[in-house]
Structure 1
Amino acid sequence: MIAVGLLFLICSFKSILGKEEGFIVGGDFVKSIKKFPHVAFLTLQAADSQDEFICGSSILNQLILVTAAHCFDNIATATASVGNVDREKGKVHRVASWQQHEKWDTVNINHDIALCRLQKPLTLGHTVKRVVLMKRPPKARIADLAGWGVTNEEDYSDTVMLKHTRQKLWTHAQCQRILHNSPRGTICGGESSAKGDFASSGDSGSGLLIGDNIIVGLVSYKDTSVSRSLVIYTDVPYFYDWISHTSKRLSCS
């Protein structure tokens, strides 16, 4: 169970707690996928119901996508759409397998990261590109986030078109001063007060990038008792070794 006040940033059919919260509120529509060719839209089918969930992800290579671990909790099948700002017009690829982090903790929300392997390799080009994974990325104060979904948290209206916003970056230490219980391996992005543009339902797993293509975070959750606009991201460089090892194993499986 997840404590009341914490909301995951997935989206189902307006479920209350659990798989919920994760699209960009505010922000701007992306006119061309060439601005964010690394994004992939995930559609996930629940294992024990007819429910579908949606998440974002980022392309690591022709076969591997990186996303949040909680996106794959109790999931039977998944597909990924790439190469178009309209999530319904992208090229669809079946997800053949996935690996959540072995220490993924649904109670304390630790190690919220997963990799998924596509059944067939992507064809890279102007509209489909890889992110850059770095163990020690350059310091940055602002990062870019792109995702699909809820644009208004009051009526949960959404869109099939990709949206983009910029996020102020907080270090883990800065985040701790506000949230006090944010786990290791996380960073924060956004504003501590309820203002600005931010992730909401459906953006879970979407990549936070600096310098156009260097991935530094994955949308994980929000502590709504503190702020709806301050988002906790999985710190991707923190998991560099795990990503490298697991992606090689999945690619060869």
Structure 2
Amino acid sequence: MQMDLLLLLLLLLLGNCAAVILDRVDGGRVPRVVGGQRIEVNTQPHMVNIRRRGDFQCGGSLVSPRCVLTAAHCLQAQEHQPADYVVRGGVTYLRDMRNARYVNRILLPSGYNRSTLDQDVALLQLQNPLQGAHIEPIRLARQAPRAGSYVRISGWGLTDERSRQLPNQLHSVQVKVLSRPKCQQLYQGYRNLTASMYCASVAGHKDACDADSGGPAVNAEGQLVGIVSWGRADRCAREDSPGVYTSVPHLYDWIAHNMRRYCH
């Protein structure tokens, strides 16, 4: 009994430490799905989760059987090697350990800035193709989403800003793209909104927040139009704190060029 109690206390301590690390990843919050609903992965078959040495790090999108797109800040530590990371696809539940593929190569754009999160995108080349049931690559969007349009985000991130427990089941929600002037106004004095970024949320109801970074934003045509990137620390689904996404169309040329080289 005493040993069980000590083990429980140790696990709680480790959990608290993990939460601190997550919050420090990008100097703000690491997005999660708020106000969404549970889904099965067959409705979003491009969805993958990325782990480092067994620990969940971020979401991602399968863009070919050999390659995954995610956020660069998910892979920021210089000492981490590609083989430290494993990608899993075709799974609805985070604790489902099937369909694992090791990462062979990590590619970041030369314009990625760790401080500003400009061009926050990474292309992961897998050691072996990721294929199977409920696994399907997603097409890339070439046109930026219009203000007022909706995109769908998905992930295993926290579902409430007060919670520290990741859900086991995949969640998804639709959020509304904000105009660029509106987004710049909301984040004035906090962080600069670069050309590679856009904002989306449903204020007070739906948003991305902790532990969903790197996950997909999908347009009405079923194309990958964004990557969950950042937001204001400890605020989710609030009127003054929309989620910020890396624009896939803005970085389309870099992504397509490297996919031709490494993803076939």
TM-score greater than 0.5 by the shorter chain:
yes
Q: CA deviation at 1:84?
A: 1.6
Q: In the alignment, what sits opposite 1:23?
A: 32
Q: CA deviation at 1:124?
A: 5.3
Q: Report the residue type matching 1:147 in the other structure.
A: G
Task: State which structure, 1 or 2, has the greater radius of gyration over its C-alpha atoms.
Answer: 2
SS at match of 2:208: coil
The 1:27/1:134 distance shift into structure 2, 3 A limit, reads closer
Q: Is the 8 A contact 1:62 1:124 kept in 2?
A: no
SS at match of 2:207: coil
- Counterparts of 1:243 and 1:237, CA distance in 2: 9
Q: 14, 38, 58: which one pairs with 2:46?
A: 38
Q: Does 1:55 align with 2:58?
A: yes
Query: Once structures 1 and 2 are overlaid, which stretch shifts more, 98-107 or 112-121?
Result: 98-107
Q: How does 1:126-141 map to 2 (within 5 A)?
A: 127-136=134-143, 139=146, 141=149
Q: In the alignment, what sits opposite 2:206?
A: 197
Q: In the alignment, what sits opposite 1:182?
A: 193
Q: Does 1:69 align with 2:72?
A: yes
Q: How does 1:105-144 map to 2 (within 5 A)?
A: 105-123=113-131, 127-136=134-143, 139=146, 141-144=149-152
Q: CA deviation at 1:18?
A: 2.0
- Counterparts of 1:170 and 1:249, CA distance in 2: 34
Query: Once structures 1 and 2 are overlaid, which stretch shifts more, 103-112 or 83-92?
Result: 83-92
Q: CA deviation at 1:202?
A: 1.4
Q: How does 1:153-168 map to 2 (within 5 A)?
A: 153-168=161-176
Query: Once structures 1 and 2 are overlaid, which stretch shifts more, 20-29 or 132-141?
Result: 132-141
Q: In the alignment, what sits opposite 2:232?
A: 223
The 1:80/1:150 distance shift into structure 2, 3 A limit, reads same
Aligned alpha-carbon RMSD (Å): 2.3
- Counterparts of 1:138 and 1:201, CA distance in 2: 23
SS at match of 2:45: coil
Partner deviation per Cα, 1:58-114 (whole Å, 9 max, x = no partner): 011110110101011113311111112112224111111111221111112211011
Q: 78, 81, 87: which one pairs with 1:80?
A: 87
SS at match of 1:243: helix
Query: Once structures 1 and 2 are overlaid, which stretch shifts more, 91-100 or 231-240?
Result: 91-100
Q: Is the 8 A contact 2:31 2:231 kept in 1?
A: no
Partner deviation per Cα, 1:108-127 (whole Å, 9 max, x = no partner): 221101100111012255x1
Q: In the alignment, what sits opposite 2:8?
A: none
Unaligned runs of 5+ in 1: 1-10, 46-50
- Counterparts of 1:12 and 1:58, CA distance in 2: 28
Identity %: 24
Of Structure 1 and Structure 2, which has the larger fraction of its residues in helix? 2
Q: In the alignment, what sits opposite 2:222?
A: 213
- Counterparts of 2:200 and 2:145, CA distance in 1: 16
Q: Is the 8 A contact 1:99 1:116 kept in 2?
A: yes
Q: CA deviation at 1:153?
A: 2.1
Q: Is the 8 A contact 2:71 2:228 kept in 1?
A: yes
Q: Is the 8 A contact 1:172 1:184 kept in 2?
A: no
Q: 93, 100, 112: which one pairs with 1:104?
A: 112
Q: Does 1:93 align with 2:101?
A: yes
SS at match of 1:175: helix
Q: CA deviation at 1:53?
A: 4.8
- Counterparts of 1:150 and 1:117, CA distance in 2: 27
- Counterparts of 1:69 and 1:239, CA distance in 2: 13
Of Structure 1 and Structure 2, which has the larger fraction of its residues in strand? 1
SS at match of 1:189: strand
Q: CA deviation at 1:130?
A: 1.4
SS at match of 2:101: strand
- Counterparts of 2:90 and 2:186, CA distance in 1: 38
Q: Report the residue type matching 1:161 in the other structure.
A: Q
- Counterparts of 2:255 and 2:71, CA distance in 1: 12
Q: CA deviation at 1:23?
A: 2.1
